[in-house]
Amino acid sequence: MSGQVLYESYFGGGLLCSPRAIFEQLLDDDEFDHLTHVWVVSSAAVQAQAVAEFGDHPRVRFVRFRSAEYFRALATSEYLINNSTFPPEFRKRDGQTYVNTWHGTPLKRMGYDSPGGASGTRNVIRNMMMVDYLLSSGPFMTSGMYERGYKLRGIFPGKVVEAGTPRVDSTLAGPDSPVAECARSRLEAGGVRLRGRKLLVYAPTWHGDYYRPTNDVLELAHRVRSLSERLGDEWRVVVKVHQRAFPYARSEPALKGMLVPDDLPTNTLLAVADALVTDYSSIFYDFLPTGRPVLFLAPDVASYAASRGLYDDPDEWPGPVVATVGQLADHVLAIGTGGPLDPCVTHADRYARALSDRAPLEDGRATRRVIDLVFRGIEPGCTVHDGLPDERTSILIYLGGMLSNGITNSALNLLNVLDHDRYDVSVLYNHSRSREKVRNINMINPNVRVFPRIGGMTHSKRFSYGRRQLTEHGANARGVNMTTQRRILREEWERCFGSAHFDHVVDFSGYASFWALLLAQSGATTTSVFLHNDLMAETQKVVNGRRPHASRLPAFFSVYDQFDRLVSVSPALSEVNAANLGHYARPGAFAFASNTLDHDQVLRLAWGLTDVDRELFRPEAQALLRARPSSELVQSHEPRPVDLTNLPGTIEALLGFHPLSDVRTEVARRAAISSALPYVPDVVTFVTAGRLSPEKNHERLIRAFDIVHRQEPNTRLVIMGSGPLERSLVSLTKELGLSRAVKFTGQVGNPYAVMAQSDCFVLSSDYEGQPMVLLEALTLRLPIVTTRFPSVRGSLPEGVGYETDLTPEALADGMSAFLRGAVDQVDFDYVAYNQIAAHQFLSAIGAEPALGNGIEAAFRRSEDWVDDPSTGAENRPKIDAADPTGSRRQLDEQASTRRR
């Protein structure tokens, strides 16, 4: 609707903050009397307050948050103004202008800068991709919060307007202004009697969760009463609480006459405040331009800073930071005295620096500058950034379902090896609270921007049938109109990514057409889909009498022609997929890129290495061991005997050197080994790892082991993994009389510890993509026996490992060859391998030109690397006798010794 402006503050919590400042100025200006104004309110109480103030105005109306009227207004208003975010259903439509004022210059770390903050940005970053004008209080907020905290550099499509903060205009109105008179009258109406006394506003941070407010009102009331008694009649103490905590505070009798009414905007209140007390609320930045004192009552500042994170050290805050009400009262009473506790004296320099750094543009005219730019279209006389440019190439990768499987591991490994100084990497996945998925999501490289998909498609239900037909039966199925489907998919892209642009988009999962088709709407330079397996063979796979991919994968094949690159995970697999699926694809679409490997994690989990181990045994750390007792690692240099029979004492001694998390990891590592590999003298252990599903053909492995075990009884087989065939495989083991020689471990949290203590790795698959488990076995220098499945060369170049035909007898011959000493260990340079694999990925998606080196280069003997810069030898770990935990060679030697 042309001329309609929708305002939302704090999800409808009131007519508050900068949206209110803009609203009031537009409403009072005759130039804009053609505009109608719609305010979002979250409850009947908020609506009643709003109606009492503006209900008689003919151009102002109200809609209840998340009502049908709300979504209609959100979809049809010409201007949208919010100080936070619109809900997941929101998609900005053509012709709409979205102004985000945000709700404060941050003191607490925001977005990615806060602990676990990446996932918490999910609706913020989605909204930011649709914002036309993003208001900023100044350079710190632009660079510190927007560019870094929310990773908007290189992707934000709108304008960042450094105009100051509209809501602060009312704070600077002056003591005799209508704003100040309004504040005093509302305080009086709310039961707060000033009677000429100086006003001290206490505005503590709200410590509750938005959806589960915490009632700490009794402690708050005690603190405010105590402060008021200590200050006497000179000061009037009032408390301004968060709107979510107000219902609790209002019901507390001890706060009567001290509680600021919830309908009194904070910045209007600050216009009449003589001093402000807070703890971690950024409200004090709004107050700095007044020049009046700020004090901080923060008894838990050290723990809060450690857990929540702060942008500024408390020593640099613009006022005294105290732990008790008594200390606070002493500083308040000293205001204006010029004495040693007067904040105006002790913190003058810090106050001036904070004002210059955090609130440099507040002059009472911020609202006018915003209106000039947004509504008048004229130069506002302030800095306006057209986006936040970044020279890096941008890549968006759909990671898949984030379950614990090979595709997820490969995706996470890839994110760790990409050069984030050259590439701006974003990832897409479906938001989930599943513990398993959250654990994997938390492993995403912190340099990566995340787009967790929330909400769902908002198209009419009449199009749902066609969408289901498309994803389940393909582009040619009945009821599929591809023009319509592309339109609704484009709308979904805009809901998830707004106006964001990416140079390259990648469906790394490759098993669900919906995600690939969504990415195809991006307008990127190249779109790629990864093929992690022989996908035609996958369509024939039978699990529990069903073929789970028989319909959906062919449906996916039918839209392959919409993608520029179809990337298999090895050259051999690319040939297989091109032969089987080439008629679906564009000419020249098939490419390959080897999976990357997290070798550091493999080695850490295999041998129990920790950062502390590395620190203690670095050569330069030897001096540290002898240094002063205040060392971070060593508290004392006096030898202390430890009674190892005393378990608590032993653990206490360990915790003097190692974090509890590392001790737990090591205990779990030992437990995994003990459970999977109970001690048996002189036994030879064959090990395998993978999902117990048809393509892995564990039945072949068990029958091969039966042949070997009858010839060499001092052998055993450990099968790690779970899956649909577990019950039938266990039954086969019993039928063959192998129950004592074959161990099924189920899913193992740390398979590398078990692999490292085994003697030979065996793979019995019918087909694979590029099995990561072979690369992991190579990293641990395990000899390998494998079937000769079509893409085996993707992991094992010619001459590496022992390959057999796809029969139990042939596989048994390979295992016997190991027992004869005919299967060698291989020198595998995993650092060089990752460099080659990363370049293959970038080349395959069109981000870099092709490079001649294949992964075979990573299997040359270590002596051959010294003078060959093309392999990245300069980045390989250096062998140092004084660093036993940091040397790949010595880890390899440990592995060989343990197996011997």
How far is it, in rounded angstroms, from Cα 328 to Cα 234?
15
Sheet holding 526-531, edge to edge: 449-453, 423-430, 393-398, 504-507, 526-531, 565-568, 590-592
Residue 417 or residue 207, greater confidence: 417
Q: Are 310 and 279 in contact (CB under 8 A)?
A: no
User: What pLDDT score does 860 carry?
Assistant: 55
How far is it, in rounded angstroms, from Cα 35 to Cα 43?
25
User: What pLDDT score does 246 carry?
Assistant: 84
Largest CA distance in the chain: 101
Structure token digits, residue 444: 């995403």
Residue 705 or residue 653, greater confidence: 705
- Give the amino acid at 296: F
User: Among the ranges 23-27, 625-629, 681-685, 774-778, which has the highest mean pLDDT value?
Assistant: 23-27
Residue 576 or residue 244, greater confidence: 576
Tokens 């022989």 label which residue? 534
Q: Which residues belong to CATH 3.40.50.2000 in the chain? A: 671-819
520 φψ region: left (φ > 0), alpha (ψ -120 to 50), beta (else): alpha
Decide if pLDDT at 126 tops 50. yes
How far is it, in rounded angstroms, from Cα 180 to Cα 265?
12
Question: pLDDT band for position 653 (50/70/90)?
Answer: confident
Closest CA to 759 of 803, 716, 704, 707: 716
Element (H, E) at 203: strand 198-203
The β-bridge partners of 742 are: 717
Tokens 């606070």 label which residue? 328
- Give the amino acid at 663: V
> Hey, is 209 helix, strand or coil?
strand
**1-38: pLDDT as tens digits:** 789 999 999 999 999 999 999 999 999 999 999 999 99
Quote the Cα angle for 490-492-493, to 5°.
65
**469-502: pLDDT as tens digits:** 999 999 999 999 999 999 999 999 999 999 999 9
Q: What is the mean pLDDT of residues 652-663?
A: 78
Pick the CATH number of 4-167 from 3.40.50.300, 3.40.50.11820, 3.10.129.10, 1.10.10.60: 3.40.50.11820
User: What pLDDT score does 877 carry?
Assistant: 36
Q: What is the torsion angle, in degrees rounded to the nearest 10, for the CA atoms of residue 653, residue 657, residue 663 and residue 669?
A: -110
Quote the Cα angle for 762-764-765, to 5°.
135
How far is it, in rounded angstroms, from Cα 494 to Cα 426?
16
How far is it, in rounded angstroms, from Cα 216 to Cα 596?
50
- Give the amino acid at 336: G
Closest CA to 9 of 92, 65, 57, 89: 65
Return phi, psi of residue 674, to 5°.
-60, -40
Give the CATH number of domain 671-819: 3.40.50.2000
CA-based torsion, 583, 586, 590, 596: positive or negative? negative
Element (H, E) at 50: helix 44-54
Strands 383-386 and 159-162: antiparallel
How far is it, in rounded angstroms, from Cα 393 to Cα 411?
19
Residue 116 or residue 294, greater confidence: 294
Strands 449-453 and 423-430: parallel
Residue 550 or residue 563, greater confidence: 563
Decide if pLDDT at 317 tops 60. yes
Decide if pLDDT at 853 tops 80. no
Tokens 């806060």 label which residue? 114
Decide if pLDDT at 898 tops 80. no
Lowest-pLDDT choice from 109-118, 744-753, 779-788, 889-898:
889-898
User: What pLDDT score does 640 carry?
Assistant: 62
Question: pLDDT band for position 634 (50/70/90)?
Answer: very low
Distance from chain centroid for Cα 258: 42
Q: Are 4 and 79 in contact (CB under 8 A)?
A: yes
CATH topology assigned to domain 169-358: Rossmann fold (3.40.50)
Question: pLDDT band for position 96 (50/70/90)?
Answer: very high
- Give the amino acid at 548: P
What are the Cα distances from residue 655, in Å, to 326, 624, 637, 642, 667?
A: 38, 18, 16, 13, 13
DSSP secondary-structure letter at 810?
A: H
User: What pLDDT score does 618 carry?
Assistant: 44
DSSP secondary-structure letter at 148?
A: I
How far is it, in rounded angstroms, from Cα 513 to Cα 562?
11
Residues in the chain: 900
User: What pLDDT score does 480 carry?
Assistant: 92
DSSP secondary-structure letter at 630?
A: T
Structure token digits, residue 897: 């010794």
DSSP secondary-structure letter at 405?
A: S
User: What pLDDT score does 609 carry?
Assistant: 66
> Hey, is 596 helix, strand or coil?
coil
Structure token digits, residue 789: 């499945």
Q: Which residues belong to CATH 3.40.50.12580 in the chain? A: 169-358
How far is it, in rounded angstroms, from Cα 726 to Cα 730?
6
Residue 815 or residue 570, greater confidence: 815
Give the CATH number of domain 393-592: 3.40.50
What are the Cα distances from residue 145, in Å, to 20, 107, 111, 139, 696?
A: 23, 10, 8, 10, 49
Lowest-pLDDT choice from 67-76, 640-649, 677-686:
640-649
How far is it, in rounded angstroms, from Cα 430 to Cα 402?
8
**761-814: pLDDT as tens digits:** 999 999 988 888 999 999 999 999 999 998 888 788 888 999 999 999 999 999
User: What pLDDT score does 638 carry?
Assistant: 56
Question: How many Cα neighbours within 13 Å face the side chain of 667?
Answer: 9
**491-549: pLDDT as tens digits:** 999 999 999 999 999 999 999 999 999 999 999 999 999 999 999 998 988 877 788 78
pTM of the model: 0.85
Residue 351 or residue 622, greater confidence: 351
Tokens 């080439």 label which residue? 582
Closest CA to 496 of 110, 92, 99: 92
- The chain-wide mean pLDDT, for the chain, equals 89
What are the Cα distances from residue 482, in Å, to 474, 491, 745?
A: 10, 14, 47
User: What pLDDT score does 899 carry?
Assistant: 41
